[in-house]
Amino acid sequence: MFTGIVTDVGEVRSVKPRADNLHRITISCAYPRAALVEGASIACSGVCMTVVGAGEEDNRRWFAVDAAAETLALTTVGRWRHGARVNLERALKMGDELGGHLVSGHVDGLANVVAREDMTEMSRVVLRAPASLARLISPKGSVALDGVSLTVNTVEDETFAVLIIPHTLKVTTLGTLRMGEEVNLEVDQMARYAARLLEKP
């Protein structure tokens, strides 16, 4: 589990195809080497991934993860290339501060940026969600965009808007969002379960 509070922005060092439609992705980061143990979970732009290797070169740490075919097809991971910037968050520990909202790292789909307005103190970004997910997004509810916990400002049909404060624009990849760009979207877990309970038996 995660909170949607990004603690580092990593950079993709390499993407190498492997057998069985797996891609081995290596990401540089600023996390302590001791924290990068095999089997650890790290949210990479909102996608929960398992560390399968790690090391350190030139005072820069790195870790490797494997992405399967479904992850490559349903998230932005399939488009990552050398130099891509990635929001990172290590898994939540019992007793940690829950600063955002509970995020599983299981991306529900992709949201498309349809508008961006840069204001004096923040940016307003409007996104279009897949129809199947739009019904799970509500004003004042929470979403995770590329792993960043955000509060929904307004909702209209399949589009929703979020306000992004200067700190978030500075310490995550959301500051570089452009029109037409797609981001990993995870809807609030409570909304997902509530919708499931309301389905006819």
Catalytic: 172?
Answer: no
Name the residue among 83, 96, 98, 159 with its Cα closest to residue 124. 159
Q: Which of 7, 14, 41, 138 is catalytic?
A: 41
Q: Which of 30, 131, 151, 194 is catalytic?
A: 151
Catalytic: 151?
Answer: yes
Q: Which of 2, 76, 149, 172 is catalytic?
A: 2
**Do 121 and 31 touch, CB atoms closer than 8 A?**
no
Catalytic: 50?
Answer: yes
Q: Which of 82, 106, 131, 132 is catalytic?
A: 106
Q: Which of 48, 67, 84, 129 is catalytic?
A: 48
Catalytic: 154?
Answer: no
CA angle 15, 19, 21 (to 5 degrees): 70
Q: Which residues are CB-contacts of 94 (< 8 A; sequence separation ≥ 6)?
A: none
Q: Which of 68, 69, 73, 194 is catalytic?
A: 68
Catalytic: 7?
Answer: no
> Which of helix, strand or coil describes residue 80?
coil
Name the residue among 146, 151, 36, 57 with its Cα closest to residue 100. 151
**Do 166 and 122 touch, CB atoms closer than 8 A?**
yes
Point out the residues that are catalytic.
2, 41, 48, 50, 68, 106, 151
